[in-house]
Every structure is written in structure tokens, then in C-alpha cells.
Amino acid sequence: MTTSPRPVPSPDDLTAFGAGHLPGLIGIRFTHAEPGLLRSELTVRPELLAPNGFLHAASVVALADTTCGYGTRILLPEGAQSFTTIELKSNHLGTAREGTVTCEARSVHAGRTTQVWDAEVRAPDGKLMALFRCTQAVLYPR
């Protein structure tokens, strides 16, 4: 198990953190939080769909990147101020038109200068919908 130098917020606290910003505006909710492992969900709504009627890939990326990013915040090293995503990749294997999609993000590497996270996004029926990997640069005060 990964340890965190700071207290781990509750899923409700993580959800509230996104209020008024992209995560809150699209409806991302957190369901589990521990150092190195976060779970979240997003209910499919018409405004999150592409014109073809399927969940927009950007909605899926926002869910995965937010979940990984919040995990990064929890694992920031002592003295770090923040982080920024410096690379991300997604493979979309399926999609959804309705229901709630889920995301599970896991820390692969939590170093002093970078973190790497993997996430899986699943359709309402549990089928794998997308694979996601991101690299975060850890930021320190200047």
C-alpha cells in the first residue's frame, strides 16, 4: 500500500473540491479514496454526448484525468505545492449512451518530481471502455 504525507480526503470532500470547476460541472463524483487508489463515476447526460449520440471522448478523458489528478494531490511529496499534467494517453475501446460510467485510477510511480497514474473507465455494464495513462509533474515553490 502507498502512503501519503497528508490526510486523505473523503470521497465526498473530493467531489466537493470540484464544485464550480470542470469536474463539478460535468458531474464527476468520487466513491473511494486511499493513497494510490481512487474510484469515481460520471452519469451520462445529453450534454456530455458527441453529436453522434455516444459519450464524448473528452468526457471520458476528463473523468480519468480528474481521478488521476486527485490521486496525485493525495500523494504529493512533502514540500510540493501542486502538480500539472504533462502527458496523457487514452485508448477508447467502447462507449456508452446512458447510465453511469466508472473510473478506477492507480498510482504506478509516485516520485519527488513526477507521478505516473493508470486508469480504467468502465461502461455501465462493467465492460472496459477506456484505458488511460498520465504523467504529472510535481511543482514546488520557487
Per residue in 4-14, pLDDT (tens digit) is 777 899 999 99
Q: Which structural domain, as residue segments, surrounds residue 32?
A: 11-139
Tell me if the pTM is above 0.85: yes
3-class secondary structure, 123: coil
Nearest-angstrom CA–CA distance, 110 and 75:
7
Would residue 2 count as lying in a domain?
Answer: no
Find all residues with CB under 8 Å of 116, minimum gap 6, and list them: 107, 108, 109, 133, 134, 135, 136
What local confidence, expressed as pLDDT, does residue 1 receive? 58
Would residue 90 count as lying in a domain?
Answer: yes
Number of domains observed in the structure of the chain: 1
Would residue 1 count as lying in a domain?
Answer: no
Radius of gyration of the chain (CA): 15
Would residue 3 count as lying in a domain?
Answer: no
Would residue 121 count as lying in a domain?
Answer: yes
Nearest-angstrom CA–CA distance, 37 and 117:
10
Would residue 4 count as lying in a domain?
Answer: no
Q: Which domain CATH number covers 91? A: 3.10.129.10
Tallying the residues shown for the chain, one arrives at 142
Asked if residue 3 has pLDDT above 90, the reply is: no
Per residue in 65-81, pLDDT (tens digit) is 999 999 999 999 999 99
Would residue 47 count as lying in a domain?
Answer: yes
